[in-house]
Amino acid sequence: MKITEKIIKKHGLKLEEYENIKKLLKREPNLLELGIFSAMWNEHCSYKSSRIHLKKLPTKGKHVIQGPGENAGVIDIGDDDAIIFKIESHNHPSYIEPYQGAATGVGGILRDVFTMGARPIALLNSIHFGSPTHFKTKSLLNGVVSGIGGYGNCIGIPTVAGETKFNETYNENILVNAMAVGHAKKDKIFYSKAKGLNKSVVYVGSKTGRDGIHGASMASAEFDDNSEEKKPTVQVGDPFTEKLLMEACLELMKDNSIISIQDMGAAGLTSSSVEMASKGELGIELELDKVPCREENMSPYEMMLSESQERMLIILEDGKEEHAKKIFDKWDLDFVVIGKTTNTNNLTLKFNKEVQGEIPIEALASKAPIYNREWTKKIIKKKKINLKDLKKIKLEDALVKILSSPNHSNKSWVTNQYDQSVMCDTVQKSGSDAAIIRIHNKDKAIAVSVDSSANYCKSHPVTGGKQIVCENWRNLITVGAKPLAITNCLNFGNPENKEIMGEFAECLEGIKEACEFLNYPVVSGNVSFYNGTNKKNIYPTPVIGGVGLIKRLSKPISHNFKKNNSSIILIGKTFGHLEQSCFLKENYSIIEGMPPEINLLNEKNNGEYLLKLIDKNLILSAHDISSGGLITALSEMSMNSKYGAKILKPKKLTNLFEYFFGEDQARYIVEIDTNNLIKVKKILKDGNIYFEEIGITQKDQFEIESEFNISIKELFKINNEWYNNF
């Protein structure tokens, strides 16, 4: 078949990229080879627009065993225990086919974790939908949530935390980010780097079908009005087979049979074989007629580009083939030796004993395009919002408006579809700042959380990038965990647009600054570009997934008030920042100005001193302050308890709306037994930590001095109304 300009463009390649392919091959590629280049050179697999910027992120630290570059990141949590985790996007597939797109997103991220030898112990997600009034939103929400729950529940991994948000910027391009966390022993971590010559390359798992062909390429392009036609590019998942595959792989990992192992994810057999060979600086030869297929007459092109799920590629030690086959036979899974490692440094593809394609590995990997795309710095239009110009509203009415809004309403309709307790190690479920998972049979645990803040990133990308790292940091601290490392999923629009590329570059600068200052390295992640339809790009939405360590799990901290008549302290200064606030958005439809300033020194000091108080058992409950400000955080602490609060009016800020709804950062609310109040105040004063006594807890009521008094039952009802009526 002659390669035409139309065929080149259909494969998502630029004409200049095709010319580069010809130079590397020193000839014209055939269709199979073109498809392989398309898969490996697309944005999703090559990171060609982001790699330059990603190199700036801090990736090393005291606890880091493996940073970016493997299937997932690995951190040391002591006692020879390691935590393996990563977050990835499945945005485009989930918009086209919500159930399968979300389900296979969960399946794919789980494979990234157990491929490295870890038993998965928790799933998290960050899902973003368009306006609730958009005609597609309800069906997309139903499909995605069902897909996440369906896959996770069936395979038996608890979905313990996440976030569900709505914004019209996602009307035509939803975001579905899935995170998985696993536990392994430090001496039983497996990598994808191929080693040795003439080693058996083994295909295991499900058979290969025609689903998902060009899935990675589809994920590297903008949508248009014909996006529905891309349904065949969406993979189909089978959680029951994945469970078998996971158990078979973990069983084989108990001995010394495996040299390297790689999940067949995006770009399927192509990416898995190329990545293994590239890391090992070897060649690899595949006999494609041996690939187990579930459909008749599949071509080499289809086999190499299929993204059928629940498959692995393994390189075995000599003589281990029979032993390994017995294990996979026991679990009723395909096990076929389909190739070998070579010293050619080529990807050699045979079919019916004839060579169908031969490509230098480096042409697909190290010599893939790297673009230093032009970008423009965000021009900030500073505009101070004058509250006097706004219509008068009551404090209580403003709070009700926020608590009943889609983004702040109770999400139990979503979380109730996820099994959060399977495996019996979930100590704290979704609903708190972070979930807590016990390390099985031990008195220690990890805390996990995912966070994003698209409005902040849109208005000032550098500050927004810093803020989301800090919010994630705070969420772990409030449950008593020491933050150790993060994974990120960077969701942006078209990188060929200078403004979009600028948002990306500046957001990463903010993430870098915060991670460096907080000693909070990035160990894994994913970049998702081209999120948009018909030139309408989403807001920049970096999602941060954090993992922290709780060394002694004696008494987990949550954010619900615990006792009557205990003291409530606000840690951190309040300046009353209302620009880009939830208060202005929900009450006045104003989305303007700068996000709140980030003082990294205050973030670090305030967080570390709160951890000291928790370690000394001086804290009853704690909650960070973020979207919606102080009053929203206090309401959340009340609604999840039988105790409310009686809060004093501020002595310094005279404007109550600025004080109660301002979204100043580096702040926490803590509940303290009155018997410990003197000790707590001394520790904070000695550390030069700013704090205020703002009130006490009380039964059944939430009260702001001289302003309003509302029952907890009523608050709960208000908070549950939107989802119940949606």
Residues with catalytic function? 44, 90
Pairwise CA distance, residues 415 & 425, whole Å: 17
- Phi then psi dihedrals of residue 113, to 5 deg: -85, -50
Pairwise CA distance, residues 646 & 644, whole Å: 7
| Radius of gyration of the chain measured on its C-alpha atoms | 26
Give, as one character, the DSSP assignment of residue 430: B
Give, as one character, the DSSP assignment of residue 224: -
Q: Which residue has the tokens 């055939």?
A: 30
Pairwise CA distance, residues 466 & 41, whole Å: 31
Query: For residue 440, what are its two tokens?
Result: 């099985």
Give, as one character, the DSSP assignment of residue 173: S
User: Of 589, 584, 37, which is closest to residue 305 (Cα–Cα)?
Assistant: 37
Q: Which residues of 42-58 are buried (b: 16+ CB within 10 A; e: fewer)?
A: bbbbbbbbbeebbeebb
In DSSP terms, which residues pair with 89 in a beta bridge? 177
- Phi then psi dihedrals of residue 226, to 5 deg: -105, 25
Pairwise CA distance, residues 615 & 622, whole Å: 13
Q: Which residue has the tokens 């706004």?
A: 390
To the nearest 10 degrees (0 to 180), the angle between helices 137-155 and 98-114 is 40
Secondary element (H or E) of residue 138 = helix 137-155
Pairwise CA distance, residues 63 & 79, whole Å: 12
Pairwise CA distance, residues 582 & 590, whole Å: 9
CA distances to 276, 288, 289 from 690, rounded to whole Å, are 52, 66, 69
Residues 6 or more apart from 386 whose CB is under 8 A from it?
none
Give, as one character, the DSSP assignment of residue 392: P
| Strand bridging mode 159-166 / 119-129 | parallel
Other beta carbons within 10 angstroms of residue 529's beta carbon come to 27
| Strand bridging mode 621-624 / 668-672 | antiparallel
Pairwise CA distance, residues 321 & 201, whole Å: 10
Pairwise CA distance, residues 580 & 591, whole Å: 5
Query: For residue 145, what are its two tokens?
Result: 């949530």
Dihedral class, residue 628 (left if φ above 0, else alpha if ψ from -120 to 50, else beta) = left
